[in-house]
Amino acid sequence: MELGMSWSPSIVPAAETVYLVEDCFSGQGCCWREADSDKTDLETVIADLMSGQYNDPRRVIVFNTADHWSEDVSADIAREIQRRADLAYEDISSTLDHFIERHALPERQLALRLDAVRSLR
């Protein structure tokens, strides 16, 4: 490093896969929510979404700077949250329900009522 040049640390972890959530606030716009660097893994983001830590989540992006890739994984996250809620027989908050409708509803398979199945025979 040359004399007089200052060094500053990177704000992005070097070799880690990071998940970030875009969250929106009515009338105030959207932002990428701040998170501790040790709390940007998949399981923590899903748990935070399911526990209502976000106001109006719009999308989830995953990236890895070491491997030089990024991807919008909103649909995958929405389907996984719906799957977990269905397995646990849990209701989903209305805010999270909007996220799931935006990203996973067209691919969600709904079960037929028993009387509807009988009428198909």
pLDDT value at position 111?
59
Question: Domain containing 61: what range?
Answer: 17-107
Please check the confidence at residue 71 and state whether its pLDDT lies above 70: yes
What are the structure tokens assigned to 96, written together?
A: 């999270």
Say what the pTM is: 0.72
Residue 114 lies in a domain: no
Residue 4 included in any domain: no
Residue 1, in any domain of the structure: no
Q: Checking DSSP bridges between strand 57-64 and strand 29-32, what pairing results, if any?
A: unpaired
- Answer whether residue 98 is part of any domain: yes
Mean pLDDT value of segment 62-88: 93
> What digits encode the pLDDT tens for the residues 33-54?
888 888 899 999 999 999 999 9
- The answer to whether position 3 is within a domain reads no
Half-sphere exposure of 38 (CA within 13 A, CB side): 0
* Residue 56 falls inside a structural domain: yes
Region 59-87 average pLDDT = 94
Please tell me the total count of domains within the chain: 1
Interstrand relation of 57-64 and 17-25 (parallel, antiparallel or unpaired):
antiparallel
In this structure, is residue 68 part of a structural domain?
yes
Contact partners, residue 30, CB within 8 Å, separation at least 6 = 22, 23, 24, 58
